Structures are given as structure tokens and as C-alpha cells.
Amino acid sequence: MNLSTPAIILGILIVAGLLLLVLFLMIVNYGQLWFQAYWSKSRVTFLELLGMSLRKVNARTIVQAKIMATQAGLGREISARKLEAHYLAGGDVPRVIRALIAAQRADIDLDFDRACAIDLAGRDVLDAVQTSVNPKVIDCPDRGSGKSTLSAVAKNGVELKIRARVTVRTNIQQLIGGATEETIIARVGEGIITSIGSAESHFDVMEHPDTISKAVLQRGLDAQTAFQIVSIDIADIEVGENIGARLQADQAEADTRVARAKAEERRSIAIAREQEMKAATAENRARVLHAESLVPKAMGEAFRSGRLESAQGSARG
């Protein structure tokens, strides 16, 4: 019994030493983060920090995000476990927290789960919130398309070249699954071309370009998209070609070619008919000559046979 007591004491000392060593290592590794979180009222335990390291989560990123959320008044609904789960899912935790803070300041309805879903869907959630507060302007047509203007033709056949600017803000509720800027540009371009095409004259469009904007806005082009159209402004209008006159000229030229082809066809038929008549005339003349050549032969035969003389004697008597 007395021999085992020192061994027990030694074992206790070894375990205590190991525990102290582990505690010392944890303090060395996580002490700064723990104190930073503690004094920021974003309490995180050493075990949680150790668990983050074991799960290969950047503890500093999670703690700083937790501190930002707490200081902004979001700490109660956003726990370290939720932040860690979003980090493990491949999300950008600091950007999500900054987006939530910006949404709270701008009185935009955006919760943590939706912000995480937007981030995991590949959308920039912070940019979406900023665009909701500060709308952005997109060009129609897009500069990347290689075209500087939209081309549309009024009913009088005159072409108009138009460049428009569309002011949009993000629709947070439809950001997941909603159409992108390319859809907005395509719809606005289609609406502008349709509105100009229904105008009686290009003068009407140039005198009142705002009617085009109003007509396009009334179509609800931002339905099922990630944006809400604030305004559509016609930035520039240029008069292009008179497409109607050119088409009429092309049609007249085509009609002329058709008439010439038909006249040439009739002339060819007439020439062919003339040649046929000449051939028929030559054939009839040959027949007449052939018949005339048979008369002397017939007369000779008549003389030889005596029929011609008897015929003449009877005529004399």
C-alpha cells in the first residue's frame, strides 16, 4: 500500500502536468482570440476554438465575424456554430456578415439564412445589398456585345439608332433563381424596338422619347429577375437609313428585272416562232419545186405513151 501511493501520486502529477500543458498550449494558441471575443461580448469557449482547429476551420475568421455581428446587434441570432457551418460549406463568412450589417443599416429585410443561401448560390450578397441601397446603371445595349446602339424602324420606314440606360436595384427576394442583367438588357432592348416599330413616324419618337420609356416600363420587364427596374432613360437617338424607301427601290428593281426576264422570254418565243415559220415556208417551197419538177416528166410520159396526142386530136375534132 505504501509502495503504490507514490506511484498514484506520480500518475496524478503526470496527468495534471499534461492537462496544464494542454491548457498552456490552448492559451498560447487561442488566448488572444479568446480575450478579444470576451472583451467584445462575443464569448467563445476554448473548447469551441479547439473544435474549429480539429475541423480545419479558420478560428480567427469565425471569431472576427462573430465580433462584427455582436457589435452590430446581430450576435444573438448568429452563433459561432452557424458561422462555422457556413464556412465549412464553402461560404464567405466575413462578406455575409458585412452584408447583414449593411442590410440592417438600410432597413432591408435580410436574415442570416437567406444571406448564406445567396452566397452559396454564387451571388455577391454584399454587392446585392449595396445595389439595393445605391441603384446601378446598365447600358442597353451592353458594351460587351460589340454594338453601341439599338436599331429600330418606325412605320414610315425610317431607322432610328437608340442607346438607353437602365437604372436597376437588387430584388433581394428573387436574387436566388432570378434572371441576371443580361435578361434585363435583352428585355429592355426588345421593348424599345417594339415601341418604335409601333410608332407612326420617327418624328413622333424623336419629339417624345419619354413615351418609349413609359411604354417599356409598363411591360413589367423585371418580372422573375434579380433586379427591379427603377427607370429607363433614352440617352441618345440618331436617324439612320430610310429602310422603307430602300426596300421599295429594291422591290422596284426586282420587278424591273422580272419584267425584263418576261420580255426576253416573249422575244425568244417570237424568234423561235419566226424560225419555225421560215422553216415551214422553205419546206412548202421545196414541195412546190418538187411538184413542178414532176410536170415535165409527166408530159414526157404522156408523149411517149401517145395519150397527149390522142387528147389533142380529140380536142381538134
Q: Which residue has the higher pLDDT, 293 or 317?
A: 293
Q: Average of pLDDT values for 42-51?
A: 74
> Rounded to whole angstroms, how far apart are CA atoms 242 and 245?
6
Which residues are within 8 A (CB) of 187 and not within 5 positions of it... i.e. 6 or more apart? Answer: 219, 221
Read off the C-alpha cell for 284: 412548202
pLDDT in tens, 52-71: 777 788 878 888 888 888 88
Counting residues of the chain whose pLDDT is more than 70, the rounded percentage is 84
Confidence at residue 10, expressed as pLDDT on a 0 to 100 scale = 65
Over residues 221-249, mean pLDDT: 80
Answer whether 216's CB lies under 8 Å from 191's CB.
Answer: yes
Q: Is the preceding peptide bond at 209 cis, omega within 30 degrees of 0?
A: no
The residue ranking higher by pLDDT, 317 or 89, is 89
Length of the chain: 317
Backbone angles phi, psi at 206, to 5 degrees: -70, -30
CA-to-CA separations, 18 to 15, 49, 103, 287, in angstroms, rounded:
5, 19, 48, 139
Sign of CA dihedral 253, 256, 262, 268: negative
Highest mean pLDDT among 93-102, 189-198, 285-294: 93-102
Which range is least confidently modeled, 13-22, 139-148, 162-171, 175-184?
Answer: 13-22
DSSP 20-49: HHHHHHHHHHHHHHHHHHHHTT----HHHH
All three cell numbers of 223 = 418580372
**Domain regions of the chain by residue span:** 25-133, 136-243
Please say if the pLDDT value at position 99 is more than 80.
yes
Which residues touch 55 (CB under 8 Å, ≥6 apart)?
84, 88
Confidence label for 3 from pLDDT (cuts 50, 70 and 90) = very low
Cα distances (Å, whole numbers) of residue 312 to 107, 304, 307, 317: 141, 14, 9, 9
Residue by residue, DSSP assigns 89-125 as TT--HHHHHHHHHHHHHTT----HHHHHHHHHTT--H
Average pLDDT over residues 271-276: 86
Q: Residue 49's pLDDT band (boundaries 50, 70, 90)? A: confident
Give the pLDDT score at 1: 44
Residue 212: pLDDT over 50 = yes
**Cell numbers standing for residue 57:** 476551420
pTM above 0.75?
A: no
Residue 196 identity:
I
Cell 420587364 found at: 221
Q: Percentage of the chain surpassing pLDDT 90?
A: 2
pLDDT tens-digit series, residues 101-157: 888 888 888 888 888 998 998 888 898 888 888 888 888 888 777 778 888 888 888
Please give the mean pLDDT across all residues of the chain.
80
| Residues 292-316 pLDDT 10s | 777 777 777 777 777 655 545 555 5
| Band of residue 95 on the pLDDT scale cut at 50, 70, 90 | very high
Kindly give, in sequence order, each residue whose CB lies less than 8 Å from that of residue 89, ignoring residues fewer than 6 positions away.
116, 120
Query: Are the C-beta atoms of residues 129 and 103 closer than 8 Å to each other?
Result: yes
So what's the pLDDT on residue 75? 62
CATH superfamily of 136-243: Band 7 domain (3.30.479.30)
Lowest mean pLDDT among 35-39, 93-97, 305-309: 305-309
Rounded distance, CA 223 to CA 227, Å? 9
